[in-house]
Amino acid sequence: MNLELWLAFVATYTVISLIPGPSVLMVTGQALSHGGKAAFLCILGELVGGIVLVGLSFLGAGAILAASAFLFQIVKWAGVFYMAYLGYCQIVKARRDDVDGLQKVHAEVGAASAWAGFFTAILNPKAIIFYVAFLSQFLDPNANIFTQFFIVLITSTVIVGVVLSGYAILAVQARRTFQSARARRCFGYSGGGFLIGGSLFMATTR
């Protein structure tokens, strides 16, 4: 991958990453519901999941999903129901938690947030197929494929991390502006709504 191809990849992938999708909705939901720590642990999970997806795409998983409509639907709907379930749980917590209980809840969501980000990433079959179709446009068939793989992997991970961090910071700042119990509960509802919205996005896009 020469410099010209790499710069084209960076520009194109950055624009695509800025478009809100399931990952953005998941991170924003975590930030609104649980704060900055949960959001950035969620981003960490998303990045690990993204690394797995890029690896799977290079191993041919994307071609398998593209060829098997049944397998594609299984993975897709597993992701849809997972995000919807997380959204429902968040709304239920927002209704039940009082102000004193919120700090305890925040201390318990770290690992759950990381896993939520990870599963949101890997349970999106369209992402795997996208990587296969998209990345192939920026690979030089005459260059070392493994070297290009690591370049793409590192570059895409950095871009996604920066973009998701930007969304998380904006959501956390909005959350910090309002500190009342009522506002916190509203943010809990909003976070759950973002997750359910992400599940609907996954369900309705082809």
pLDDT band at 164 (very low <50, low <70, confident <90, very high): very high
What token pair was written down for 69? 């409509």
| C-beta of residue 49 within 8 angstroms of C-beta of residue 122 | yes
Supply the mean pLDDT for the chain. Answer: 76
The pLDDT score that the predictor gives to residue 34 is 81
**CA-based nearest residue to 71, from 22, 125, 127:** 125
Give the pTM: 0.70
Q: Exposed, middle or buried, 95 (CB in 10 Å: 0-12/13-18/19+)?
A: exposed
State the average pLDDT over residues 19-31. Answer: 83
Residues 6+ apart with CB under 8 A from 150: none
**Per-residue pLDDT at 102:** 46
CB 137 within 8 A of CB 19: no
Task: State the pLDDT confidence band at 60, using cuts at 50, 70 and 90.
Answer: low
Angle 25-125-160 from CA coordinates, rounded to 5°: 45
Q: List the helix and strand counts (H, then E) for the chain.
A: 10, 0
**pLDDT exceeds cutoff 60 at 65:** no
